[in-house]
Structure 1
Amino acid sequence: MTADKPLRADARRKREALLAKAREVFDAGNFFDLRFDDFAQLAGVGTGTLYRHFPTREALAEAVYRGEVATLCDRARELQATLPAAEALATFLRSMVDHIAAHEGLARTLATLMATGSGTLAEGGRALEQAVTDLVTAARQDGTIRDDVSAGAVMMALHGIGAAHDRPGWRTEADGVITLVLAGLRRPPA
């Protein structure tokens, strides 16, 4: 399927049904337990439709991932447009923890797919890093955070939080790491 040709309304609905079902299966944590053809039946579409939109399991997973990244990047832009810079950054970082917590199955599936060296995952990582860079830059420009901490350091903290999602007490510790990161970003009093 090419990105150049817009989908008919019925094809778009079927594609969205497949993506929605895949998200549900991710969140249930059994993406790899199902035969690939099962996604078509679960989404109420034919197997030809499944393969036309997503020729492989990895293509389906990557499409879900692209959608999640787009949602997160849109959220970052919305926060940056509506909140003071430091508050937008803090809200976004906390919402990332919420997102990771709500989509643990997706995180496990993506970790498995990362072993394949997917370019989509790298592309998504760059898009998220750009969103964080924009938030950090805005907060730096308004003088609320330090000049000597990069967005890359903030991304490393987010990656660490995501990688540790199987730890007991993960949510409390993840919230604590975000609190630590935000405290570390704050500009010291003059």
Structure 2
Amino acid sequence: MSSDRATRPLRADARQNEDRLLEAAARAFARDGAAAQLKAIAKDAGVGIGTLYRRFPTRERLIEATYRNETARLCAAAPELLGTAPPAEALRAWMDMFVDFMATKHAMADALQAVLVADGDLRMQTRDLLTESLATLMTAGIADGTIRPDVDPDDVLMGLGGVTLIAGEPGRRDLARRLLDLLMDGLTHRKDR
């Protein structure tokens, strides 16, 4: 693919097709892992397989684009949630979204690993974006007095990662909710020292 084609903005219909493909891919990867059928993804998105291959010539390119898209969606959710809910509620809702994000990531882990090895900066870029989103939510909560000011967003991100390792599978959502509630209690409870 020429660099001109790669950097040229997509037409509105092509952008919609790509968005539908990435949403369908995220659902398929979360459900079926990296072995998700590309034809099924195209069908779910309402496009032909040729459209999928024009945008994503390899499975790895689709996985990378899905990962980047899901990261961007999760990060964009932070200010959106703050616009509709108090900071502590927005943070808790974002944590649930994080568990979903990680479930999709884990489902395509084998194929994603190859992508992350090929693009060594992608993992750190993602971590930085997620930390910034958490910092946005936590800063709002600190400003309104609901979130402790002495907690580092990196630590919260690590805690969220631990929750998803223990309870990130769909059948363990109740456990994940309980663990996220405990994490929130730790963020909002002010202890006398």
Q: TM-score, normalised by structure 2?
A: 0.75
Residue 161 of structure 2 is matched in structure 1 by 159
- Would the aligned equivalents of 2:34 and 2:107 in 1 still touch at CA under 8 Å? no
- Would the aligned equivalents of 1:29 and 1:104 in 2 still touch at CA under 8 Å? no
Give CA-to-partner distance per residue, 1:135-158, whole Å, 9 cap, x none. 112212332222221111110111
Cα separation, 2, equivalents of 1:94 and 1:46 = 32
**Aligned residue-pair number:** 184
Give CA-to-partner distance per residue, 1:101-159, whole Å, 9 cap, x none. xx735432046513543443432332122111111122123322222211111101111
Amino acid in the other structure paired with 1:27: A
- Would the aligned equivalents of 2:163 and 2:176 in 1 still touch at CA under 8 Å? yes
Residue 179 of structure 1 is matched in structure 2 by 181
Cα separation, 2, equivalents of 1:8 and 1:168 = 36
Residue 146 of structure 2 is matched in structure 1 by 144
Cα separation, 2, equivalents of 1:19 and 1:96 = 17
The reply to whether residue 11 of structure 1 matches residue 14 of structure 2 is: yes
Query: Among the aligned pairs, what percent are the same residue?
Result: 36
Cα separation, 1, equivalents of 2:189 and 2:27 = 41
- Would the aligned equivalents of 1:23 and 1:64 in 2 still touch at CA under 8 Å? yes
Residue 87 (structure 1) shift: 2.5
Residue 26 of structure 2 is matched in structure 1 by 23
- Would the aligned equivalents of 1:14 and 1:45 in 2 still touch at CA under 8 Å? no
Cα separation, 2, equivalents of 1:22 and 1:104 = 13
- What is the Cα-based RMSD across aligned positions, in Å? 3.1
Residue 59 of structure 1 is matched in structure 2 by 61
- Identify which range, 56-65 or 109-118, moves more after superposition: 109-118
Residue 114 of structure 1 is matched in structure 2 by 113
Residue 179 (structure 1) shift: 1.3
Residue 86 of structure 1 is matched in structure 2 by 88
- Would the aligned equivalents of 1:62 and 1:120 in 2 still touch at CA under 8 Å? no
- Would the aligned equivalents of 1:143 and 1:187 in 2 still touch at CA under 8 Å? no
Give CA-to-partner distance per residue, 1:2-38, whole Å, 9 cap, x none. 553111244334434432442342133143264x6x4
* Greater per-residue helix proportion: 2
Residue 126 of structure 1 is matched in structure 2 by 128
Change in Cα spacing, 1:143 to 1:12, as seen in structure 2 (3 Å) is closer
Change in Cα spacing, 1:30 to 1:21, as seen in structure 2 (3 Å) is same
